[in-house]
Structure 1
């Protein structure tokens, strides 16, 4: 079945604003109409805190339960394994602090030079607090791929955790998380924490298939509102003593990381984004049975559509004079995030040039500070980053490429 692009775009109100091309998805996608409607409905019909016997509180409890179940279906877990928070970074800092209660001086952590700092700095801070040793997985600056051949040598009896990204927010590289988990399991008893922020919007994520222990993602990069989500194996979460106020719930186990009053309107919006993905899955696979199957169909359809769009993007970028692409050279093993430099044009100048033409893209380090340093681009201002998602069109890709060519034209 052909991808229903027109119907998809109609579900995103921001796309109706004329003169805008949104290629800033790695920093946050546009929000789908069902997410907006769910948030408005929750606020308009009466909001309340959780745990009361009156109608609005009971409605809030039901809404929150539904949002946990929806995210569990998307990620392949169970509702009690899902925690909502302000964002992925806040949740990672919280779970890192809880894990560190059981770690000692001389224990070891493994992080990568490819990751967003939200999956690096929290572990560096834990290591500093506990006098632990940090070991690094490097990546190849040419291919943008992690050096997994070196991983076994980084693991040992005192390795407590390996933190890895599902996909690079800077270069688009998709990491072999399941393969990394197998290596870790063969060499140590370490936990595996996965930053799936950039992976989750672009294809299926199944925590059971990956085999990891903890995984975090960001619904605001999944067509919903500003929220963070943490999944953790129930048995592990049950063992962790989170930093929280004394009356806060510890059952289901993941909920101990939901400190204070959460954004219930945000959870409503997440539920709406899952509604949207279910709708898309039904369009792509009318016979899909149940929410998990519909969500799987949606994410597979998104991945297939974005692969074709990525091929068009790579072909177009290859013809831009002076352009150097970083990360995987082809569509295999990447999400549709493209990072590049153009000789003679600083990244911030390129981004401003595009913005003047209604094309929204980022420049800089994107919080992937280790990756930019490893590429030797820190002093040069980092990279230009163009990120697609499934609501983008081939025409928008062509307009981007034409705008980049215009950098070299007189009177640009």
Structure 2
């Protein structure tokens, strides 16, 4: 078992310096840094000889074995079966592919239900498919006071003509964790398919696909220490019936039928090492138990950092925090009075070697409803297990310094 206090030594990117200062990464929601075991696994695959599938030679068979092990590893990570796991370019691409397949049977009498809090990938993939079929699109509204979904009219939104309900498990910009249970319950009553965007959830807390009882779940490995890959997890019965668009000679069985073209084998070959790395921070009798235990350790660490940063920002008069009173990930969205978000981030990078991002982060409907789209959107500080209290203090001090400098120049 690796102690979380030792985690930084496993990330070579943390040795980067800029302007004589160590870089502090707060851009994890856009993509975390990559763990050394993952890098080693990618190099090993490429060094030993890669190959395409279905060959009668060693490198081809080894590639197939790598994919099998990767499916099992991701299945252990999210509480699924390996046959329910498919890989792709990224979650967005997989969403579009699944949407195209699901929408084959939609009509103008049907509807789909989405959410106003979501990343556009979990919106536009389904909207574009609905437009092709003249299918009605409905939205679960976001409550701008609590920054969570308002499910008070769920029974009216989700009805007997609803084909799918797509929501995020956690907001990638404000961190709000969605209680999907009542949404799943209502969807089950009318026979609708439930789709969950867990891209921002999986990096921060243990997810159990079967306990959630959703039909489809998406995540991306580059959000939690891995390479740029998307993952679709689909219940076996649905996956079997899914009429995907594919090349005629390509496999017609799942999960392979969703994986169009040659996959990124070198990245897939690293996923077992990625999951083993996460599991190494926990205890248990098997890998799944270790993973769940590891997330408890990660959550405890991130909570300390999250509270430290939120508490300090809340005491700065010029800062407006956008946060739900309910459960949330350690992802802090804020704005600073009279300071453009882009300018703030530029100063953070150039003066203080702190990497922090700004914008709408593809949560455009949320930004519109909050009236900040034309103002540059949010500043987002995303925390990861490799962040430290010292880095939090650097961010707080730098924020205060930038605000003071702006006041002096006015």
TM-score, L = length of structure 2: 0.95
Aligned equivalents of 2:153 and 2:369: distance in 1? Answer: 17
2:273 aligns to what?
272
> C-alpha deviations, 1:30-57, integer Å up to 9, x for none?
0001110110000000100111111111
The answer for the alignment partner of 2:251 in structure 1 is: 249
1:227-266 mapped onto 2 (5 Å cutoff): 227-251=229-253, 253-266=254-267
CA distance in 1, matches of 2:298, 2:184: 26
CA-based RMSD of the aligned residues comes to 1.4
Mapped contact 2:199–2:220 kept (Cα < 8 A): yes
Larger mean CA deviation between 320-329 and 114-123 belongs to 320-329
Residue of 204, 212, 215 corresponding to 1:213: 215
**Aligned partner (choices 313, 317, 327) of residue 321 of structure 1:** 317
Q: SS at 1:80's partner residue? A: helix
- Return the alpha-carbon distance in structure 1 between the equivalents of residues 244 and 10 of structure 2: 39
SS of match in other structure, 2:72: helix
Whole-angstrom CA distance in 1 between matches of 2:389 and 2:155: 42
The residue aligned with 2:203 is 201
Q: Secondary structure at the match of 1:231?
A: strand
Aligned equivalent of 2:16: 17
Please state whether the residue corresponding to 2:196 is helix, strand or coil: strand
Worse-matched range after superposition: 114-123 or 332-341: 332-341
Q: Is the 8 A contact 2:4 2:281 kept in 1?
A: no
Gap runs ≥5 in structure 1: none
**In structure 1, the residue corresponding to 2:217 is in which secondary structure?**
strand
Aligned to 1:192, what secondary structure does the other structure show?
strand
Q: Which runs of 4+ in 1 moved over 4 A?
A: none
Q: Is the partner of 1:341 in helix, strand or coil?
A: strand
Q: Is the contact made by 2:220 and 2:228 (CA closer than 8 Å) also made in structure 1?
A: yes
SS at match of 1:148: coil
Q: Report the Cα distance in structure 2 between the residues aligned to 1:87 and 1:408, rounded to whole angstroms.
A: 37
Matched, 1:50 2:53: yes
**Using the alignment, how far apart are the partners of 2:109 and 2:360 within structure 1?**
32
Contact 2:158 2:186 in 1 (8 A): no
Q: Is the 8 A contact 1:34 1:275 kept in 2?
A: no
Whether the 8 Å contact between 1:143 and 1:326 is mirrored in structure 2 is no
Given that 1:82 and 1:255 are in contact with CA atoms closer than 8 Å, whether structure 2 keeps it comes out as: no
Partner of 2:68: 65
Map of 1:86 onto structure 2: 89
TM superposition shift of 1:409: 2.2
> Which of 25, 34, 39 does residue 36 from structure 1 map onto?
39
SS at match of 1:84: strand
Corresponding residue of 1:342 = 336
Q: Is the 8 A contact 2:117 2:365 kept in 1?
A: yes
Per-residue deviation, residues 93-140 of structure 1 (Å, max 9, x unmatched):
000000001211121000111000000001110111000111111111
- 1:389 Cα shift? 1.0
SS at match of 2:108: coil
Aligned partner of residue 173 in structure 1, secondary structure: coil
How far did residue 178 of structure 1 move? Answer: 2.5
Other structure's SS at 2:166 match: strand
How much has 1:312 moved relative to structure 2? 0.9
Tell me the distance in 2 between the aligned counterparts of 1:42 and 1:80.
Answer: 23
Distance 1:343 1:255 in 2: 51
Q: Distance in 2 between matches of 1:143 and 1:345?
A: 25
**Is 2:379 aligned against 1:384?**
yes
The residue number in structure 2 matching 1:302 is 298
Matched residue, 1:364:
359
CA distance in 1, matches of 2:394, 2:3: 21
Cα distance in 1 for residues equivalent to 2:105 and 2:272:
35
The equivalent position to 2:155 in structure 1, one of 152, 164, 174, is 152
CA distance in 2, matches of 1:292, 1:146: 30
Of 212-221 and 138-147, the range deviating more from structure 2: 138-147
SS of the residue 2:335 aligns to: strand
Please tell me whether the aligned partners of residues 122 and 168 of structure 2 are also in contact (alpha carbons under 8 angstroms).
yes
Separation of aligned partners in 2, 1:354 and 1:268: 36
Runs of at least 5 residues in structure 2 that lack an aligned partner in the other structure:
none
